[in-house]
Amino acid sequence: MPENDTDVAAHWLFGDQLGPHFLTAGPDGPHRDTPLLMVESRGVFRRRRFHRAKAHLVLSAMRHRAAELGDRVTYVRADGYVEGVREAVGDAPLTVHHPTSRAALKLVRARPSTRVLPARGFLVGHDAFREWAARSGSGQLRQETFYRWVRGNHDLLMDGAEPAGGRWNLDHDNREPAPRGAADLGVPAPYRPREDDIDTEVRADLDRWEREGTVEFLGEDGPRRFPATRREALSALRRFLEVRLPTFGTYEDAVLAADPVMSHSLLSSSLNLGLLDPAECVEGAEAEYRAGRAPLNSVEGFVRQIAGWREYVWQLYWHFGPEHRKANVLRAHGEVPSWWEELDSGAVTANCLSHVLDDVRATGWTHHIPRLMILGSYALQRGWDPAEVTDWFHRAFVDGYDWVMVPNVVGMSQFADGGRMTTKPYTSGGAYLNRMTDFCGDCRFKPTVRVGDDACPFTAGYWAFLHRHRTRFEHNPRMAQAVRGLGRLSDLDALLEQERDRAD
Ligand SMILES: Cc1cc2nc3c(=O)[nH]c(=O)nc-3n(C[C@H](O)[C@H](O)[C@H](O)COP(=O)(O)OP(=O)(O)OC[C@H]3O[C@@H](n4cnc5c(N)ncnc54)[C@H](O)[C@@H]3O)c2cc1C
Ligand code: SF4
């Protein structure tokens, strides 16, 4: 363990620690003159099949950061992290900020003379969370309670001890379906970056690796749609706050086929790469509210996503421990089919699913409702193995990292932990999707039909799911009524047979 800064050969920056806040000096940070080390591991891409746009984004962001840091950084391209670090500094002492995955933490802890500094890139420290969790008792750690605690502690959208506007939660105002008949929300387009020579070099490397047959990817790569530098990320944040935040709230849960982004911020990849600090995002949003430029429902909705959901998910990843990833209380063992793995939207008849898979193939991104209520809900209804589903989400999304995928997929979307994060499974029939999306009008199926050629796979899938788990859910106060509804289905046997045979 290095005793003091003069012993340290380098401070190691992981590929998701790219913003200036990872280099702020102080007792919990690297010395301002300490040399820096970055390791680009090709083994990461060899081991798993990632979306190519994600591989491009991560490599582009790392190489851009190395170019900015100039002589201060040693940038190593290696087969793995251990080899890369050894090549650069041998066994010399290092510092590193707490990495974001359990595997990376194990790796840095196993290395001799490595001092792990506290995590950065989040509003709440691990110690503060542990104290809060201990105070909260042994029951479920509710996101809403956590969120209010974060708001109060960080004086975020607060008027003294009270929430701004008198209410903590404006979710009720944020569940409107998209305006009827509108193809898009009509809001100014989000910021999109322009590629440069580093992107050209990254693309050439990815092409070569694929040609050599050492690495395989999913989906399409390009043009790059998400920020790879701090400057680009700040431009994206500014544009969102100035022209898109005002309409963020109302239609947050709506989905339009021709407007996949709507008023969402597209900031997740920048936050998760460490290019943006969450504090500057939520404080920027609050400033728009205080200046009267953005309504409270939008600002509170956005602050809740970051100070509530993102922080909560980060903390639960560590709090629930390594077993959470393996949770499978619904005993779902179905395999993820090849058309899903290949993002083969053309093989899918359901219009909603086909569109969303197509968006993932083209961009590696969709907003939270397609993730939760279309992709996740479909996988849940079909009984696919939650660990496989988690792995797929991790690889297919540009913003997917271990810490964010495990709680979101295992806990939120697949209910595989039996309700440690949510009080009921997030799944629905076609009626919900018909209300909140514009997919059903052009679909071969009908959301109201559950049996026969026109049967909507979500409507039929919902009933088949409830039937499979009726014993578990009949005593759940939020599910009991739905389970009782099974008794009124005269065509249940035919429905179950139909869903057993469904191919997509
Ligand atoms: C099944 C499933 C998988 C998901 N996987 C990821 C993932 O791998 N990476 C990821 O960053 N988000 C994930 N999310 C959360 C959320 O869907 C994305 O953060 C969001 O869609 C990204 O788009 P945006 O930046 O436009 O978000 P906005 O709608 O503009 O929200 C603002 C920000 O809030 C944060 N946020 C909101 N909800 C969550 C959440 N549940 N967990 C973490 N951060 C949140 C993100 O940083 C996001 O940028 C997942 C959600 C579900 C249901
Ligand atoms: S009818 Fe069903 S399958 Fe078709 S778009 Fe609507 S919800 Fe999706």
CB atoms near residue 154 (< 10 Å): 17
Query: Ligand 1 pocket, 271 CB below 6 A?
Result: yes
**What is the Å distance from ligand 2's center to 384 Cα?**
20
Domain ranges of the chain: 5-117, 126-190+227-319, 325-500
Average pLDDT of the chain is 96
Query: Ligand 1 pocket, 380 CB below 6 A?
Result: no
Length of the chain (residues): 504
Strand order in the sheet with 94-97: 73-78, 36-41, 10-12, 94-97, 114-117
Q: How far is CA 248 from CA 254, 374, 399, in A?
A: 11, 20, 19
Task: Name the packing angle between helices 126-135 and 143-153 (round to 10°).
Answer: 120
Question: What integer is the mean pLDDT of 371-391?
Answer: 98
Q: What angle do CA 425, 429, 435 make, to 5 degrees?
A: 110
For the cut 60, the answer to whether the pLDDT of residue 134 exceeds it is: yes
Nearest in space to 332 (alpha carbons), one of 469, 218, 163: 469
* Superfamily designation of domain 5-117: HUPs (3.40.50.620)
302/281 Cα distance (integer angstroms): 9
Nearest in space to 315 (alpha carbons), one of 103, 21, 119, 29: 119
**What is the Å distance from ligand 1's center to 111 Cα?**
32
For the CA of 265, the closest atom of ligand 1 is 30
State whether residue 63 is helix, strand or coil: helix
pLDDT in the model for residue 1: 59
Q: pLDDT band at 390, cuts 50/70/90?
A: very high
276/157 Cα distance (integer angstroms): 20
Residue 222 neighbours by CB under 8 Å, 6+ apart = 53, 56, 195, 203
Q: pLDDT band at 351, cuts 50/70/90?
A: very high
Q: Across-strand partners of 12? A: 37, 96
Q: Is the peptide bond before 188 cis (omega within 30 degrees of 0)?
A: no
**What is the Å distance from ligand 2's center to 245 Cα?**
30
Q: pLDDT band at 171, cuts 50/70/90?
A: confident
For the cut 60, the answer to whether the pLDDT of residue 136 exceeds it is: yes
Backbone angles phi, psi at 18, to 5 degrees: -100, -10
pLDDT in the model for residue 504: 66
**What is the Å distance from ligand 2's center to 461 Cα?**
11
Residue nearest to atom 41 of ligand 1 (CA): 309
- Per-residue pLDDT of 286-310, as tens digits, reads 999 999 999 999 999 999 999 999 9
CB 61 within 8 A of CB 15: yes
Token couple for 470:
């009726």
Q: How far is CA 21 from CA 24, 31, 124, 413, in A?
A: 5, 13, 15, 32
Residue nearest to atom 42 of ligand 1 (CA): 310
For the CA of 314, the closest atom of ligand 1 is 43
For the cut 80, the answer to whether the pLDDT of residue 5 exceeds it is: no
Query: Ligand 1 pocket, 225 CB below 6 A?
Result: no
Residue 438 neighbours by CB under 8 Å, 6+ apart = 178, 183, 255, 256, 257
Question: What integer is the mean pLDDT of 97-106?
Answer: 97
pLDDT in the model for residue 11: 97
**What is the Å distance from ligand 1's center to 371 Cα?**
9
- Per-residue pLDDT of 233-255, as tens digits, reads 999 999 999 999 999 999 999 99
pLDDT in the model for residue 364: 98
CB 374 within 8 A of CB 340: no
Query: Ligand 1 pocket, 406 CB below 6 A?
Result: no
447/126 Cα distance (integer angstroms): 45
**What is the Å distance from ligand 2's center to 342 Cα?**
21
Q: pLDDT band at 7, cuts 50/70/90?
A: confident
Q: pLDDT band at 2, cuts 50/70/90?
A: low
Q: Across-strand partners of 19? A: none
Q: How far is CA 86 from CA 47, 112, 453, in A?
A: 21, 12, 61
For the cut 70, the answer to whether the pLDDT of residue 46 exceeds it is: yes
Q: H-helix or E-strand containing 131?
A: helix 126-135
pLDDT in the model for residue 263: 97
Query: Ligand 1 pocket, 241 CB below 6 A?
Result: no
Q: Where are the alpha helices (DSSP H) in 295-436?
A: 296-303, 311-319, 338-341, 351-363, 368-369, 377-382, 386-396, 402-405, 430-436
Q: How far is CA 144 from CA 48, 167, 170, 476, in A?
A: 35, 12, 12, 20
Query: Ligand 1 pocket, 345 CB below 6 A?
Result: no
Query: Ligand 1 pocket, 267 CB below 6 A?
Result: yes
CATH tag for 126-190+227-319 (out of 3.90.1150.10, 3.90.170.10, 1.25.40.80, 1.20.1250.20)? 1.25.40.80
463/248 Cα distance (integer angstroms): 33
Give the residues surrounding ligand 2 with Cβ less than 6 Å away.
Answer: 350-352, 430, 433-434, 439-440, 443, 445-447, 456-458
225/358 Cα distance (integer angstroms): 16
Residue nearest to atom 2 of ligand 2 (CA): 456
For the CA of 374, the closest atom of ligand 2 is 8
Q: Is the peptide bond before 223 cis (omega within 30 degrees of 0)?
A: yes
- Per-residue pLDDT of 470-498, as tens digits, reads 999 999 999 999 999 999 999 999 999 99
- What CATH architecture applies to the domain 325-500? Orthogonal Bundle (1.10)
**What is the Å distance from ligand 1's center to 310 Cα?**
7
pLDDT in the model for residue 4: 58
**What is the Å distance from ligand 2's center to 264 Cα?**
23
**What is the Å distance from ligand 2's center to 351 Cα?**
6
For the cut 70, the answer to whether the pLDDT of residue 160 exceeds it is: yes
pLDDT in the model for residue 501: 87
> Which ligand sits nearest to residue 431's alpha carbon?
2
Task: Name the packing angle between helices 197-212 and 52-69 (round to 10°).
Answer: 130
Nearest in space to 391 (alpha carbons), one of 408, 367, 374: 408
